[in-house]
């Protein structure tokens, strides 16, 4: 298992968590709407979950790896849709924050979808 890759992936997820917590702080100062609070809290919770999954994947747990792959591929797509939606209810500052979260998730996706990393997590029945 390439611990350097998983350390970097974990760092990306920690950055997502820190950014999300900062977003909740901004919402407290500027009076964020319920949708801002919900999104900020959900992304913070997801980032904390991803940090835990990165630790499990770093120890070779395939299920954690698969979950991370799904989230890091789906999240940037959802974020692009959120940013492009004209009446999403999200203020411009939060759309910018979500763009950064999307870039962090996409960077993690690029790291964990490299052939060497994928080969470290073979499907059942495809060992060796």
- Residue 41 pLDDT level (bands cut at 50, 70, 90): very high
- 127 located within any domain: no
Structure tokens at 110: 């690029």
Q: Is a pLDDT exceeding 80 seen at residue 24?
A: yes
Q: How many domains does the chain have?
A: 1
Q: Could you tell me the pTM of the whole model?
A: 0.91
Domain assignment of residue 128, yes or no: no
pLDDT surpassing 60 at residue 127: no
Report in angstroms the alpha-carbon separations of 29 from 33, 37, 45: 12, 12, 21
Contact between 19 and 101 (Cβ < 8 Å)? yes
Domain assignment of residue 97, yes or no: yes
Please indicate, yes or no, if residue 124 is contained in any of the structural domains: no
Q: What is the mean pLDDT of residues 20-40?
A: 95
Is the CB of residue 36 less than 8 Å from the CB of residue 26? no
Question: Is residue 125 in some structural domain?
Answer: no
Residue 90 C-alpha from the chain's centroid: 19
The predicted-structure confidence for 52-110, as pLDDT tens digits, reads as follows 999 999 999 999 999 999 999 999 999 999 999 988 889 999 999 999 999 999 999 99
């Amino acid at each position: 298992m390439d611990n350097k890759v998983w350390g970097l992936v974990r760092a990306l997820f920690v950055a997502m968590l820190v950014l999300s917590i900062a977003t909740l702080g901004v919402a407290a100062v500027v009076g964020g709407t319920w949708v801002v609070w919900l999104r900020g809290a959900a992304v913070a919770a997801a980032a904390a979950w991803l940090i835990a999954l990165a630790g499990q994947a770093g120890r070779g747990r395939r299920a954690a790896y698969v979950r991370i792959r799904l989230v890091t591929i789906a999240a940037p797509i959802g974020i692009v849709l959120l940013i492009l939606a004209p009446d999403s209810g999200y203020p411009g500052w939060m759309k910018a924050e979500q763009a950064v979260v999307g870039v962090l998730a996409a960077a993690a996706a690029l790291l964990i979808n490299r052939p060497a990393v994928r080969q470290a997590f073979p499907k059942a029945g495809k060992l060796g």
